[in-house]
Protein backbone atom coordinates (compact mmCIF):
# COMPACT_ATOMS: atom_id res chain seq x y z
CA UNK A 1 0.00 0.00 0.00
CA UNK A 2 1.33 3.42 -0.92
CA UNK A 3 1.57 6.28 1.53
CA UNK A 4 -1.50 7.95 0.02
CA UNK A 5 -3.50 4.75 0.34
CA UNK A 6 -2.48 4.39 3.98
CA UNK A 7 -3.58 7.95 4.73
CA UNK A 8 -7.01 7.45 3.13
CA UNK A 9 -7.56 4.19 5.05
CA UNK A 10 -6.71 5.87 8.34
CA UNK A 11 -9.12 8.73 7.57
CA UNK A 12 -11.97 6.36 6.74
CA UNK A 13 -11.39 4.48 9.98
CA UNK A 14 -11.58 7.69 12.00
CA UNK A 15 -14.79 8.71 10.21
CA UNK A 16 -16.31 5.30 10.90
CA UNK A 17 -15.43 5.54 14.57
CA UNK A 18 -16.91 9.02 14.78
CA UNK A 19 -20.12 7.80 13.13
CA UNK A 20 -20.43 4.92 15.56
CA UNK A 21 -19.83 7.20 18.47
CA UNK A 22 -22.49 9.61 17.26
CA UNK A 23 -25.06 6.80 16.89
CA UNK A 24 -24.40 5.57 20.43
CA UNK A 25 -24.81 9.05 21.85
CA UNK A 26 -28.19 9.45 20.13
CA UNK A 27 -29.49 6.03 21.34
CA UNK A 28 -28.68 6.67 25.01
CA UNK A 29 -30.19 10.11 25.28
CA UNK A 30 -33.12 10.47 27.72
CA UNK A 31 -35.92 13.06 27.94
CA UNK A 32 -34.87 16.63 28.25
CA UNK A 33 -35.47 18.36 31.54
CA UNK A 34 -39.19 19.08 31.86
CA UNK A 35 -40.19 16.64 29.11
CA UNK A 36 -42.93 14.07 29.62
CA UNK A 37 -42.42 10.37 29.00
CA UNK A 38 -40.45 7.40 30.23
CA UNK A 39 -36.74 6.78 29.57
CA UNK A 40 -35.88 3.81 27.35
CA UNK A 41 -34.85 0.64 29.18
CA UNK A 42 -31.17 0.14 29.90
CA UNK A 43 -29.16 -2.45 31.69
CA UNK A 44 -28.57 -0.07 34.57
CA UNK A 45 -32.17 1.16 35.39
CA UNK A 46 -35.85 -0.04 35.77
CA UNK A 47 -38.67 1.91 34.12
CA UNK A 48 -41.07 3.83 36.44
CA UNK A 49 -44.77 4.15 35.39
CA UNK A 50 -46.19 7.64 35.19
CA UNK A 51 -49.65 6.60 36.71
CA UNK A 52 -49.74 5.22 40.23
CA UNK A 53 -51.61 1.89 40.52
CA UNK A 54 -55.07 1.99 42.07
CA UNK A 55 -55.19 0.77 45.67
CA UNK A 56 -58.52 -0.80 46.71
CA UNK A 57 -59.43 -0.12 50.34
CA UNK A 58 -62.25 -2.34 51.66
CA UNK A 59 -63.87 -3.41 54.89
CA UNK A 60 -63.54 -6.32 55.40
CA UNK A 61 -60.28 -7.01 53.61
CA UNK A 62 -59.81 -9.36 50.68
CA UNK A 63 -60.16 -13.09 51.51
CA UNK A 64 -61.16 -12.34 55.12
CA UNK A 65 -62.68 -15.24 57.06
CA UNK A 66 -65.03 -15.43 60.06
CA UNK A 67 -66.17 -11.85 59.44
CA UNK A 68 -68.64 -10.77 62.18
CA UNK A 69 -72.19 -10.29 60.89
CA UNK A 70 -72.37 -6.78 62.37
CA UNK A 71 -69.66 -5.59 59.94
CA UNK A 72 -70.66 -2.74 57.63
CA UNK A 73 -69.09 -3.36 54.20
CA UNK A 74 -67.38 -0.33 52.63
CA UNK A 75 -65.20 0.19 49.57
CA UNK A 76 -63.08 3.07 48.26
CA UNK A 77 -59.87 3.61 46.31
CA UNK A 78 -56.62 5.48 46.70
CA UNK A 79 -54.81 6.97 43.70
CA UNK A 80 -57.96 6.92 41.61
CA UNK A 81 -61.75 7.17 41.65
CA UNK A 82 -64.36 4.55 42.54
CA UNK A 83 -67.15 4.52 39.95
CA UNK A 84 -69.38 1.75 41.31
CA UNK A 85 -69.46 -1.35 43.50
CA UNK A 86 -71.74 -4.31 44.07
CA UNK A 87 -72.03 -6.85 46.85
CA UNK A 88 -73.68 -10.24 46.50
CA UNK A 89 -73.83 -13.68 48.07
CA UNK A 90 -75.32 -17.10 47.49
CA UNK A 91 -77.85 -17.89 50.20
CA UNK A 92 -77.91 -21.23 51.96
CA UNK A 93 -80.94 -22.05 49.80
CA UNK A 94 -78.90 -21.44 46.65
CA UNK A 95 -80.46 -18.08 45.79
CA UNK A 96 -78.26 -15.28 44.39
CA UNK A 97 -78.84 -12.18 46.50
CA UNK A 98 -77.69 -8.66 45.62
CA UNK A 99 -77.12 -6.38 48.60
CA UNK A 100 -78.16 -2.75 48.38
CA UNK A 101 -75.74 0.11 48.94
CA UNK A 102 -74.89 3.67 47.97
CA UNK A 103 -71.88 5.60 46.68
CA UNK A 104 -71.23 8.91 48.39
CA UNK A 105 -68.08 11.07 48.60
CA UNK A 106 -66.03 8.35 46.96
CA UNK A 107 -67.04 5.55 49.34
CA UNK A 108 -69.54 2.75 48.64
CA UNK A 109 -71.42 1.59 51.76
CA UNK A 110 -73.67 -1.45 52.10
CA UNK A 111 -77.19 -0.70 53.36
CA UNK A 112 -77.51 -3.80 55.55
CA UNK A 113 -75.26 -5.83 57.77
CA UNK A 114 -74.26 -9.38 56.88
CA UNK A 115 -75.73 -12.86 56.73
CA UNK A 116 -73.95 -15.57 58.73
CA UNK A 117 -71.99 -18.43 57.21
CA UNK A 118 -71.96 -17.32 53.56
CA UNK A 119 -69.39 -16.23 50.97
CA UNK A 120 -69.70 -12.64 49.75
CA UNK A 121 -68.39 -11.24 46.47
CA UNK A 122 -67.48 -7.57 46.24
CA UNK A 123 -67.02 -6.17 42.72
CA UNK A 124 -65.56 -2.72 42.17
CA UNK A 125 -64.97 -0.54 39.11
CA UNK A 126 -63.20 2.79 38.81
CA UNK A 127 -60.53 4.85 37.11
CA UNK A 128 -56.87 5.47 37.82
CA UNK A 129 -55.45 9.00 38.01
CA UNK A 130 -54.99 9.16 34.23
CA UNK A 131 -58.59 8.11 33.58
CA UNK A 132 -57.89 4.50 32.68
CA UNK A 133 -60.58 1.93 33.53
CA UNK A 134 -59.78 -0.46 36.40
CA UNK A 135 -61.79 -3.20 38.13
CA UNK A 136 -61.34 -5.93 40.70
CA UNK A 137 -63.27 -8.63 42.55
CA UNK A 138 -62.78 -9.61 46.18
CA UNK A 139 -64.40 -12.26 48.36
CA UNK A 140 -64.81 -12.86 52.07
CA UNK A 141 -66.69 -15.26 54.34
CA UNK A 142 -68.83 -14.46 57.35
CA UNK A 143 -68.83 -16.23 60.69
CA UNK A 144 -71.32 -19.03 61.28
CA UNK A 145 -74.15 -18.55 63.78
CA UNK A 146 -76.53 -21.13 65.23
CA UNK A 147 -80.27 -20.49 65.51
CA UNK A 148 -79.71 -19.94 69.22
CA UNK A 149 -77.32 -17.10 68.35
CA UNK A 150 -79.96 -15.26 66.30
CA UNK A 151 -83.14 -13.44 67.28
CA UNK A 152 -86.17 -13.82 64.98
CA UNK A 153 -88.25 -10.66 64.45
CA UNK A 154 -91.98 -10.29 63.80
CA UNK A 155 -93.84 -6.99 63.14
CA UNK A 156 -97.59 -6.48 63.68
CA UNK A 157 -99.75 -5.25 61.94
CA UNK A 158 -98.77 -5.64 58.29
CA UNK A 159 -100.91 -5.03 55.21
CA UNK A 160 -104.10 -4.38 57.14
CA UNK A 161 -106.49 -1.52 57.76
CA UNK A 162 -106.73 -1.09 61.53
CA UNK A 163 -108.39 1.10 64.12
CA UNK A 164 -107.06 4.34 65.60
CA UNK A 165 -105.81 2.60 68.75
CA UNK A 166 -103.60 -0.02 67.12
CA UNK A 167 -99.99 0.04 68.38
CA UNK A 168 -97.01 -1.12 66.34
CA UNK A 169 -95.81 -4.39 67.87
CA UNK A 170 -92.38 -5.96 67.41
CA UNK A 171 -91.95 -9.46 68.86
CA UNK A 172 -88.67 -11.35 69.36
CA UNK A 173 -88.33 -15.11 69.86
CA UNK A 174 -85.33 -14.73 72.21
CA UNK A 175 -84.52 -12.09 74.86
CA UNK A 176 -82.98 -8.80 73.75
CA UNK A 177 -80.32 -7.71 76.23
CA UNK A 178 -79.19 -4.52 74.49
CA UNK A 179 -82.61 -2.94 73.97
CA UNK A 180 -81.12 0.48 73.22
CA UNK A 181 -79.07 -0.84 70.31
CA UNK A 182 -82.08 -2.65 68.86
CA UNK A 183 -84.33 0.38 69.32
CA UNK A 184 -81.86 2.55 67.36
CA UNK A 185 -82.56 0.33 64.36
CA UNK A 186 -86.39 0.36 64.65
CA UNK A 187 -88.26 3.22 63.02
CA UNK A 188 -91.90 4.20 62.51
CA UNK A 189 -92.92 6.86 60.00
CA UNK A 190 -96.39 7.96 58.97
CA UNK A 191 -98.30 10.24 56.61
CA UNK A 192 -99.42 12.51 58.12
CA UNK A 193 -96.50 12.52 60.57
CA UNK A 194 -97.37 11.92 64.22
CA UNK A 195 -95.06 11.99 67.25
CA UNK A 196 -94.70 8.69 69.07
CA UNK A 197 -92.48 6.52 71.23
CA UNK A 198 -91.32 2.95 71.76
CA UNK A 199 -92.23 1.15 74.97
CA UNK A 200 -90.59 -2.14 75.98
CA UNK A 201 -93.12 -4.42 77.63
CA UNK A 202 -90.42 -7.06 78.12
CA UNK A 203 -87.12 -8.20 76.64
CA UNK A 204 -89.15 -9.99 73.93
CA UNK A 205 -91.73 -7.35 72.98
CA UNK A 206 -91.66 -3.65 72.11
CA UNK A 207 -94.61 -1.41 71.18
CA UNK A 208 -94.82 1.97 69.47
CA UNK A 209 -97.81 4.29 69.71
CA UNK A 210 -98.44 7.91 68.74
CA UNK A 211 -98.96 10.52 71.44
CA UNK A 212 -102.71 10.52 70.73
CA UNK A 213 -104.92 8.10 68.82
CA UNK A 214 -103.93 7.75 65.15
CA UNK A 215 -105.53 10.19 62.76
CA UNK A 216 -108.00 8.37 60.48
CA UNK A 217 -106.52 7.65 57.07
CA UNK A 218 -102.90 7.62 58.26
CA UNK A 219 -100.43 5.51 56.26
CA UNK A 220 -97.82 3.87 58.50
CA UNK A 221 -94.45 2.38 57.56
CA UNK A 222 -92.36 0.33 60.00
CA UNK A 223 -88.71 -0.63 59.62
CA UNK A 224 -86.97 -3.06 61.95
CA UNK A 225 -83.51 -3.11 60.38
CA UNK A 226 -82.14 -5.68 62.80
CA UNK A 227 -80.30 -8.16 60.59
CA UNK A 228 -76.84 -8.63 62.09
CA UNK A 229 -77.43 -6.02 64.81
CA UNK A 230 -75.91 -7.05 68.17
CA UNK A 231 -78.63 -7.77 70.73
CA UNK A 232 -76.30 -8.36 73.65
CA UNK A 233 -75.75 -11.75 75.22
CA UNK A 234 -73.70 -12.78 72.15
CA UNK A 235 -76.83 -12.77 69.99
CA UNK A 236 -77.67 -10.89 66.79
CA UNK A 237 -80.79 -9.95 64.88
CA UNK A 238 -81.65 -12.76 62.46
CA UNK A 239 -83.31 -10.58 59.81
CA UNK A 240 -84.73 -7.18 58.98
CA UNK A 241 -88.45 -6.60 58.68
CA UNK A 242 -90.68 -3.92 57.20
CA UNK A 243 -94.43 -3.52 57.54
CA UNK A 244 -97.07 -1.17 56.20
CA UNK A 245 -100.62 -0.59 57.33
CA UNK A 246 -103.43 1.95 57.05
CA UNK A 247 -105.54 3.49 59.79
CA UNK A 248 -109.25 3.41 59.00
CA UNK A 249 -112.05 5.52 60.39
CA UNK A 250 -112.24 6.31 64.10
CA UNK A 251 -114.45 3.84 65.99
CA UNK A 252 -114.57 4.32 69.76
CA UNK A 253 -117.00 2.46 72.02
CA UNK A 254 -117.60 3.80 75.52
CA UNK A 255 -118.87 1.02 77.79
CA UNK A 256 -120.27 2.13 81.17
CA UNK A 257 -120.58 -0.72 83.67
CA UNK A 258 -122.77 1.39 85.99
CA UNK A 259 -125.37 2.37 83.39
CA UNK A 260 -124.94 -0.95 81.51
CA UNK A 261 -124.83 0.88 78.17
CA UNK A 262 -122.21 1.12 75.43
CA UNK A 263 -122.22 4.18 73.18
CA UNK A 264 -120.41 3.85 69.84
CA UNK A 265 -118.83 6.87 68.15
CA UNK A 266 -117.73 6.83 64.52
CA UNK A 267 -115.45 9.71 63.49
CA UNK A 268 -116.63 11.55 66.58
CA UNK A 269 -120.35 11.11 66.00
CA UNK A 270 -122.49 8.94 68.27
CA UNK A 271 -124.12 6.37 66.00
CA UNK A 272 -125.49 3.68 68.34
CA UNK A 273 -126.27 2.80 71.96
CA UNK A 274 -126.04 -0.90 72.86
CA UNK A 275 -127.27 -2.45 76.14
CA UNK A 276 -124.51 -4.50 77.82
CA UNK A 277 -123.87 -6.74 80.79
CA UNK A 278 -120.45 -6.72 82.40
CA UNK A 279 -118.74 -8.84 85.04
CA UNK A 280 -120.55 -9.62 88.29
CA UNK A 281 -118.98 -9.14 91.76
CA UNK A 282 -115.82 -11.22 92.03
CA UNK A 283 -115.52 -11.25 88.25
CA UNK A 284 -115.53 -7.53 87.55
CA UNK A 285 -114.79 -6.29 84.05
CA UNK A 286 -111.64 -4.15 83.97
CA UNK A 287 -111.93 -0.41 83.56
CA UNK A 288 -109.58 1.28 81.16
CA UNK A 289 -108.78 1.68 77.48
CA UNK A 290 -108.90 -1.61 75.58
CA UNK A 291 -108.00 -2.24 71.95
CA UNK A 292 -109.63 -4.97 69.88
CA UNK A 293 -106.92 -7.60 69.39
CA UNK A 294 -108.76 -10.20 67.30
CA UNK A 295 -112.20 -11.03 65.88
CA UNK A 296 -113.75 -14.51 65.96
CA UNK A 297 -116.98 -15.95 64.61
CA UNK A 298 -118.56 -19.12 66.04
CA UNK A 299 -116.22 -18.90 69.00
CA UNK A 300 -116.27 -21.34 71.92
CA UNK A 301 -116.08 -19.76 75.37
CA UNK A 302 -114.23 -22.00 77.82
CA UNK A 303 -114.14 -21.68 81.61
CA UNK A 304 -110.59 -23.00 81.57
CA UNK A 305 -109.45 -19.85 79.73
CA UNK A 306 -110.12 -17.79 82.87
CA UNK A 307 -108.65 -20.32 85.29
CA UNK A 308 -111.73 -22.35 86.22
CA UNK A 309 -111.85 -26.13 86.30
CA UNK A 310 -114.70 -28.63 86.68
CA UNK A 311 -116.01 -28.62 90.23
CA UNK A 312 -115.21 -24.95 90.89
CA UNK A 313 -118.08 -22.81 92.14
CA UNK A 314 -118.33 -20.61 89.05
CA UNK A 315 -117.39 -23.24 86.49
CA UNK A 316 -119.46 -23.35 83.28
CA UNK A 317 -119.52 -25.75 80.36
CA UNK A 318 -118.29 -24.76 76.92
CA UNK A 319 -120.63 -22.45 75.06
CA UNK A 320 -120.44 -21.31 71.45
CA UNK A 321 -121.19 -17.69 70.58
CA UNK A 322 -121.79 -16.06 67.19
CA UNK A 323 -119.17 -13.34 67.57
CA UNK A 324 -116.33 -12.59 69.98
CA UNK A 325 -113.92 -9.64 69.90
CA UNK A 326 -110.85 -10.18 72.09
CA UNK A 327 -109.97 -7.29 74.42
CA UNK A 328 -107.33 -8.69 76.82
CA UNK A 329 -104.89 -11.55 77.22
CA UNK A 330 -106.62 -12.49 80.47
CA UNK A 331 -109.84 -13.56 78.76
CA UNK A 332 -112.06 -10.51 78.36
CA UNK A 333 -114.15 -10.38 75.20
CA UNK A 334 -116.89 -8.22 73.77
CA UNK A 335 -119.20 -11.02 72.62
CA UNK A 336 -122.74 -12.05 71.87
CA UNK A 337 -124.49 -13.50 74.91
CA UNK A 338 -128.11 -14.38 74.10
CA UNK A 339 -128.58 -16.03 77.53
CA UNK A 340 -128.23 -12.67 79.32
CA UNK A 341 -130.36 -10.43 77.07
CA UNK A 342 -132.83 -9.81 79.90
CA UNK A 343 -130.01 -8.48 82.11
CA UNK A 344 -128.30 -6.44 79.38
CA UNK A 345 -128.93 -2.77 80.13
CA UNK A 346 -129.78 -3.56 83.76
CA UNK A 347 -127.22 -5.76 85.55
CA UNK A 348 -123.70 -7.19 85.39
CA UNK A 349 -123.88 -10.99 85.37
CA UNK A 350 -120.89 -12.25 83.34
CA UNK A 351 -117.51 -13.74 84.25
CA UNK A 352 -115.79 -10.51 83.19
CA UNK A 353 -116.71 -10.25 79.52
CA UNK A 354 -118.98 -7.60 78.06
CA UNK A 355 -122.10 -9.32 76.72
CA UNK A 356 -124.41 -8.03 73.98
CA UNK A 357 -127.38 -9.44 72.05
CA UNK A 358 -127.05 -11.37 68.81
CA UNK A 359 -128.72 -8.49 66.95
CA UNK A 360 -126.25 -5.97 68.33
CA UNK A 361 -123.46 -8.46 67.64
CA UNK A 362 -124.29 -8.51 63.93
CA UNK A 363 -123.81 -4.73 63.78
CA UNK A 364 -120.64 -4.77 65.90
CA UNK A 365 -119.10 -7.48 63.72
CA UNK A 366 -119.74 -5.45 60.59
CA UNK A 367 -118.49 -2.12 62.00
CA UNK A 368 -115.60 -2.95 64.34
CA UNK A 369 -112.09 -3.94 63.30
CA UNK A 370 -108.83 -4.84 64.99
CA UNK A 371 -107.35 -1.71 66.56
CA UNK A 372 -110.70 -0.08 67.40
CA UNK A 373 -111.16 1.25 70.93
CA UNK A 374 -113.38 0.10 73.80
CA UNK A 375 -113.12 2.57 76.70
CA UNK A 376 -114.62 0.92 79.78
CA UNK A 377 -115.60 2.73 82.98
CA UNK A 378 -117.50 1.85 86.13
CA UNK A 379 -115.38 -0.73 87.98
CA UNK A 380 -112.53 -0.52 90.46
CA UNK A 381 -110.52 -3.18 88.63
CA UNK A 382 -108.01 -1.45 86.33
CA UNK A 383 -106.32 -2.47 83.11
CA UNK A 384 -102.60 -3.25 83.45
CA UNK A 385 -99.76 -2.90 80.95
CA UNK A 386 -99.17 -6.07 78.99
CA UNK A 387 -102.71 -7.37 79.36
CA UNK A 388 -103.57 -7.04 75.71
CA UNK A 389 -102.94 -3.88 73.70
CA UNK A 390 -103.10 -1.77 76.83
CA UNK A 391 -100.76 1.00 75.65
CA UNK A 392 -103.31 3.80 76.09
CA UNK A 393 -103.66 3.28 79.84
CA UNK A 394 -100.39 5.12 80.49
CA UNK A 395 -99.96 8.87 80.26
CA UNK A 396 -97.70 10.11 77.48
CA UNK A 397 -94.89 10.89 79.94
CA UNK A 398 -95.14 7.39 81.44
CA UNK A 399 -95.11 5.83 78.01
CA UNK A 400 -92.02 7.73 76.91
CA UNK A 401 -90.16 6.38 79.93
CA UNK A 402 -90.62 2.89 78.50
CA UNK A 403 -88.17 3.67 75.70
CA UNK A 404 -84.65 2.26 76.01
CA UNK A 405 -83.14 5.47 74.61
pLDDT tens figures, 109-142: 999 999 999 999 999 999 999 999 999 999 999 9
Sheet holding 235-237, edge to edge: 150-151, 235-237, 230-232
CATH 1.10.150.80 fits 55-141, yes or no: no
* pTM (predicted TM-score): 0.82
315 secondary structure, DSSP code: -
Which pLDDT belongs to residue 313?
A: 87
Give per-residue pLDDT as tens, 171-211. 999 999 999 999 999 999 999 999 999 999 999 999 999 99
| Sign (positive or negative) of CA dihedral 288, 289, 295, 297 | positive
Same fold, 148-248 and 251-392: no
pLDDT higher than threshold 80 for residue 371: yes
The C-alpha atoms of residue 141 and residue 157 are separated, in whole angstroms, by 35
Write out the E strands in 249-395: 251-256, 261-266, 269-275, 288-291, 294-301, 319-326, 333-336, 354-356, 373-377
Reduce the secondary structure of 191-253 to three states and give it as a string: ECCCCEEEEEEECCEEEEEECCCCCCCCEEEEEECCCCCEEECCEEECCCEEEEEEECCCEEE
User: At 85, which helix (H) or strand (E)?
Assistant: strand 80-90
What are the domain boundaries of the chain?
55-141, 148-248, 251-392
pLDDT higher than threshold 60 for residue 56: yes
Long-range contacts of 87-91 (CB under 8 A, 24+ apart): 87/120, 87/121, 87/122, 87/123, 88/120, 88/121, 88/123, 89/115, 89/118, 89/119, 89/120, 89/121, 90/118, 90/119, 91/115, 91/118
* 48 C-beta neighbours (distance < 10 Å), count: 7
- Three-state DSSP state, 169: strand
Compute the chain's Rg from CA coordinates: 38
Q: Are 249 and 271 in contact (CB under 8 A)?
A: no
* 236 C-beta neighbours (distance < 10 Å), count: 23
Q: Are 109 and 73 in contact (CB under 8 A)?
A: yes
Q: Are 218 and 229 in contact (CB under 8 A)?
A: no
Which pLDDT belongs to residue 48?
A: 52
The C-alpha atoms of residue 129 and residue 55 are separated, in whole angstroms, by 11
Q: What percent of the chain has pLDDT over 90?
A: 81
Give per-residue pLDDT as tens, 228-261. 999 999 999 999 999 999 999 999 999 999 999 9
* 232 C-beta neighbours (distance < 10 Å), count: 15
Can you spell out the DSSP letters for 8-39?
HHHHHHHHHHHHHHHHHHHHT--PPTT--S-P
Query: The domain at 251-392 falls in which architecture?
Result: Beta Barrel (2.40)
The C-alpha atoms of residue 241 and residue 6 are separated, in whole angstroms, by 102
pLDDT higher than threshold 70 for residue 23: no
* CATH number for region 148-248: 2.60.40.3710
pLDDT higher than threshold 50 for residue 39: no
Q: Are 336 and 322 in contact (CB under 8 A)?
A: yes
Amino acid sequence: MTGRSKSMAAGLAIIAMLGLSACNATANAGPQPGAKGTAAPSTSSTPTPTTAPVEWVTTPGEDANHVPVDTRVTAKVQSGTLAQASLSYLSKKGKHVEAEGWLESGTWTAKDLLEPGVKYTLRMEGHDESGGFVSTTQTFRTANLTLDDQIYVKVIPDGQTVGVGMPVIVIFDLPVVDKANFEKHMKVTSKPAQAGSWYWLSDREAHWRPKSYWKPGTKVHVEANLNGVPAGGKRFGEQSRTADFTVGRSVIAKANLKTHQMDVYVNGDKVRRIPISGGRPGWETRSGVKVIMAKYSQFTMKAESIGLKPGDKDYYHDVKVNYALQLTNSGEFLHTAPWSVSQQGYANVSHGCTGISNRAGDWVWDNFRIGDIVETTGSNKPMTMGNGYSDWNLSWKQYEKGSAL
